[in-house]
Amino acid sequence: KAGVTQTPRYLIKTRGQQVTLSCSPISGHRSVSWYQQTPGQGLQFLFEYFSETQRNKGNFPGRFSGRQFSNSRSEMNVSTLELGDSALYLCASSSQAGVYNEQFFGPGTRLTVL
């Protein structure tokens, strides 16, 4: 089985622009979660989607949004980029939404905001 794939792997944007990141989960997985990793704040949960519905949302401003398609692929969008949005964005998939589920992480998209 192919693992979780994220595109693009690297991205450079300027302040004020918007960006869309994509995540394809493992085949058969219906839950996709997004995390932001920065040196200062560590790994923080952004949101989780399951069967095209947002199940949980972390403490991030409304500039951060996401969606999930019927094939379970997910996108996250960040509008009006700020310098502090520079981070590694990780996507994780699991087979279902619940407590005891192993999540499989993708390699991440490294976003640099200039």
d(CA 105, CA 110): 14
Please, which residue, 15 or 55, has the CB nearer to another protein?
55
Residue among 12, 55, 63, 112 that touches another protein (CB under 8 A): 55
Report DSSP state, residue 85: G
Of 17-25, 62-70, 76-84, 101-109, the window that binds another protein (rule: CB under 8 A) is: 101-109
Rule CB under 8 A: is residue 42 a binding residue for another protein?
yes
Pairing of strands 109-113, 53-57: unpaired
Rule CB under 8 A: is residue 108 a binding residue for another protein?
yes
d(CA 20, CA 77): 4
Rule CB under 8 A: is residue 101 a binding residue for another protein?
yes
